[in-house]
Chains A and B, each alone.
Chain A
Amino acid sequence: MARIRFRQPSILPGFGLTFGFTIFYLSLIVLIPILGLFVKTFELDWASFERIVTGPRFLAALRLSFGASLLAALFNVVIGTLIAWVLVRYRFFARRFVDAIIDLPFALPTAVAGIALTSLYVPQGWFGRLFAPYGITIAYTPVGIWIALVFIGLPFVVRTVQPVLEDFNREVEEAAATLGAPRRTTIARVILPPLLPAILTGFSLSFARAVGEYGSVIFIAGNIPRQTEILPLLIVFRLEEREYAAAAAIATVMLLVSFLILLAVNLIQTWSTRRFGHV
């Protein structure tokens, strides 16, 4: 049959109602606001749009925002997977308590997190004091921004990897061991491959959250133009000037870059699911 059918036959009733609601809701909550962003951006003529998105200050902020977010998400992937492993595979005193601590970065108002992190990492702070004698400053540098982004992104990786790990078939690992695989091989070829889709989801979530993060970063970033200025701050500047179209232009570019990166991650994910099977 050559005709492409919109709906695959299913014995499950209720398609019309639930699908209609889904589309209506997504339009209301997601599509219309984003569409508004694009429409607002088109109020600019090409020349002023180009001027906004090619300025050295914008490009510096773009590099910083996306660079720090990527590095933070990568770091969270490693540490988050490790933490998930510890929480799932070992039984120890106060495990539930440690498990609950993971969610704190979700619950804490971001401004509170930012202020707390800043006061820890300034040269006179508890942690900053340890680095200051070596001439290393953390607060008000890109490193400080990275720390804030690691903080807010950590739960995403732990919480996506954890349930997958819990559902793991332990027999497979035991089989690998009885077949004579060294531990390293078991980790690399038996445990990690099926975890990969979950890890990538955690990476995407952590990254996406970091790119848009304002509240916690703004306190620990120095906000010095072309050095420690993040993209969301540039948007705030434009809003303060009531230059809504310019603000929308910056947001649109951010959205596009994020979309491309997330699309790439999704493709890798599809590939890995196909390669290693669905878990």
Chain B
Amino acid sequence: MSNRAKAFLFSTVLAAGVQFGGLGFAFAQDTLNNVSYDPTRELYREYSEHFAKVWKEKTGKDVVVSNSHGGSGAQVRAVVEGLPADVVTFPLEGDILAIEKAGLIDAGWQAEFPAASSPYTSTIVFLVRGGNPKGIKDWNDLVKEGVQVITPNPKTSGGARWNYLAAWAYELEQTGGDQEKAKEFVAALYRNVPVLDTGARGSTNTFVQNKVGDVLIAWENEALLSLKEFGAGEYEIVVPSLSILAEVKVAIVDKNVDAKGTRELAKAFLDELYSAESQKIFARNFYRPLYPDRVDPADLKSFPEVKLITIGDVFGGWEKAQPEHFGDGGVFDQIYSKD
């Protein structure tokens, strides 16, 4: 064997050794897959680092959390079709109900964690251009002629369903519960929408980067993030007289954790969401913490007082609202089939 061939053989064996050594090391670690939605990238990056520290202190083991992000509709489908998620963190109960229906999550998951498995919340606000040139103050300003509204398509964006429902709830309140009026109001609002992006980040980009539209209907955390990135002056947040409590939901994917033996880790990951330290992380990332008293008062300043209704009170929960408004042929489809 020539020297060269020997050197090659040696380096191959060495490389293989390193590889397998690496694999062996990987097995000694715990891994956890968190499947989440689009705008939580920054949030779960920070939370995962925090959780890794907590887990190390508690068990002495290293944990690698891999967070997967995308439009919630597509993420739900991925989990239903076999993406090995240990835990799911989604912007609506309906998303997790769909996974429950597929048999991957046991019924009653809402009771597994405090506050109906909703460790943090948000709400829907408006982001307008600096100086508020169109004078937008409340929902009824969005249906005025000449106002361009940017909001994602509620068929593809789970988070955007809250936008739609908040507008509906506002008009219900104004008219004393007239569903027909609410439908007309929402239809008028969507007539002012020049582009329906498929996801919330897409809409934010349309409004912020492409400078299209007069007002962006957004989750409060997205709106505050845009303010932070672009500085006050360029944009302003307008808080409507009434909005909806956007309840984020978390759950353990029972079938997957039982198959992988990661239930304990998954439960710890979601339990930790409720600790004081984690609640602070939420507040810093502009989500409303479940326990405001565990958070620095400075971090709460960005959350104004707003009258919040819940989907349970006004719409009878997701099980009812989802097919009625966003299903095939539902109200959202109807408002676009009229001429």
B210 within 8 Å of A by Cβ? Answer: yes
Q: Is B172 an interface residue (CB 8 A)?
A: no
Contact with A along B192-220 (1 / 0, CB 8 A): 01111110001001100111100000000
B98 within 8 A of A: yes
State whether the Cβ of A45 lies closer than 8 Å to any Cβ in chain B. Answer: no
Say yes or no: is A140 at the interface (Cβ < 8 Å to chain B). yes
Q: When chains A and B are docked, how far (Å) is the Cα of A237 from the Cα of B262? A: 33
- Residues of chain A lying within 8 A (CB to CB) of residue B202: 219
Q: Which residues of B contact A (CB under 8 A)?
A: 73-74, 77, 80, 98, 153, 155-156, 193-198, 202, 205-206, 209-212, 327-328, 333, 336-337
Given contacts A240-B156, A241-B327, contact A56 B337 (CB under 8 A): yes
- Cβ of A224 under 8 Å from chain B: yes
Q: Which of A98-106, A115-123, A258-266 participates in binding chain B?
A: A115-123
User: A125 contacts which of B74, B210, B337 (Cβ < 8 Å)?
Assistant: B210
- Decide: A242 and B195 in contact? CB cutoff 8 A: no
For the complex of A and B, 8 pairs with smallest distance between CB atoms: A225-B336, A240-B73, A124-B211, A122-B210, A223-B196, A222-B195, A140-B195, A237-B155
Give the shortest distance, in Å, between A38 (CB) and chain B (any CB).
Answer: 21
Tell me the complex Cα distance, A222–B212, Å: 12
Task: Tell whether, in the assembled complex, residue A239 and residue B328 are in contact, meaning their CB atoms are under 8 Å apart.
Answer: no
Interface size class of A (residues with CB under 8 A): 20 to 34
Known contacts being A122-B210, A224-B194, is A236 close to B156, with CB within 8 Å? yes
State A160–B80 Cα separation when bound (angstroms): 42
- Cα distance A53–B83 when bound, in Å? 32
**Residue A243 interfacial (CB < 8 Å):** yes
| CB of B88, distance to nearest CB on chain A (Å) | 16
Assuming the A-B contacts A240-B156, A242-B98, are A222 and B77 also in contact, with contact meaning beta carbons closer than 8 angstroms in the complex? no
Check if B336 sits within 8 Å of A241, measured CB to CB. no
Task: List A contacts of B195 (CB < 8 A).
Answer: 139-140, 222-224
Q: Which residues of B contact A233 (CB under 8 A)?
A: 198
CB of A157 within 8 Å of the partner chain: no
Q: Are A237 and B156 touching (Cβ within 8 A)?
A: yes
**Bound-state Cα–Cα, A169 to B267, Å:** 74
CB closest chain-B residue, reference A234: B155
Q: Chain A residues near B74: list those with CB within 8 A.
A: 240
State the main secondary structure of chain B at its contact with A.
loop
Instruction: Kindly list chain B residues whose C-beta atoms are within 8 Å of the C-beta of A226.
Output: 336-337
A249 contacts the other chain (Cβ, under 8 Å)?
Answer: no
Q: Tell me how far the C-beta of B121 lies from the nearest C-beta in chain A, rounded to whole angstroms.
A: 24
Q: Which residues of A contact B333 (CB under 8 A)?
A: 57, 225
What are 10 A-B residue pairs whose CB atoms fall within 8 Å in the complex?
A57-B337, A118-B210, A122-B212, A123-B212, A223-B197, A224-B194, A226-B337, A237-B155, A242-B77, A242-B98
A83 part of interface (Cβ distance < 8 Å): no
**A246 interfacial by beta-carbon distance below 8 Å:** yes
A218 contacts the other chain (CB 8 A): yes
Report B-chain residues with C-beta under 8 Å of the C-beta of A122. 206, 210-212
Contacts A118-B210, A239-B77; A222 near B328 (Cβ below 8 A): no
Cβ-defined contact, A140 with B73, below 8 A: no
Closest to A125 in B: B210
- A123-B74 Cα distance, complex, nearest whole Å: 31
Query: A242 touching B156 by the CB < 8 A rule?
Result: no
Report the minimal beta-carbon distance from B147 to chain A, rounded to whole angstroms.
Answer: 16
- Nearest CB on A from B105, distance (A): 15
A240–B155 touching, CB < 8 Å: yes
Is the Cβ of B153 less than 8 Å from the Cβ of A241?
Answer: no
The answer to whether A119 and B77 touch across the interface, beta carbons within 8 angstroms, is: no
Contact residue among B153, B211, B212, B328 (Cβ-Cβ distance under 8 Å from A223): B153
Complex alpha-carbon distance, A233 and B202, angstroms: 15
B76 CB → nearest A CB, Å: 8
Closest to A227 in B: B336
Residue on B nearest A123 in the bound complex, by CB: B212
Give complex CA distance A240, B55 in Å.
35
Interchain CB contact under 8 A, A124 and B212: yes
Partner of B336, one of A57, A124, A238: A57
For the A-B complex with A139-B210, A239-B77 known, give 9 more contacts whose Cβ atoms are closer than 8 Å: A115-B205, A118-B210, A122-B212, A124-B210, A140-B195, A218-B198, A223-B195, A242-B98, A243-B328
Pick from B80, B155, B193: contact of A242, CB below 8 A: B80
A125 CB contacts on chain B under 8 angstroms:
210
Task: Point out the residues of chain A lying under 8 angstroms from B211, CB to CB.
Answer: 122-124
Evaluate contact between A140 and B194: CB separation under 8 angstroms. yes
CB distance from A104 to the nearest CB of B (A): 22
Q: Which residues of B contact A218 (CB under 8 A)?
A: 198
Residues of B within 8 A of A240 (CB): 73-74, 77, 155-156
**In the bound complex, how far is the Cα of B336 from the Cα of A56, in angstroms?**
10
Closest to B205 in A: A115
Q: Which residues of B contact A242 (CB under 8 A)?
A: 77, 80, 98
Q: Binary interface profile of A, 219-257, with partner B (CB < 8 Å = 1, else 0)?
A: 100111110000001001111111100100000000000
Partner of B328, one of A224, A225, A246: A246
- Chain A residues with CB under 8 A of B153: 223
On chain B, the residues within 8 Å of A223 by CB distance are 153, 195-198
Please tell me if the beta carbons of B209 and A119 are within 8 angstroms of each other in the complex. Answer: yes
B98 touches A222 (CB 8 A): no
> A57 CA to B336 CA in the complex, in Å?
9
Shortest A249–chain B CB gap in Å is: 12
CA distance A47 to B80 in the complex (A): 28
Q: Which residue of A lies closest to B71 (CB)?
A: A240
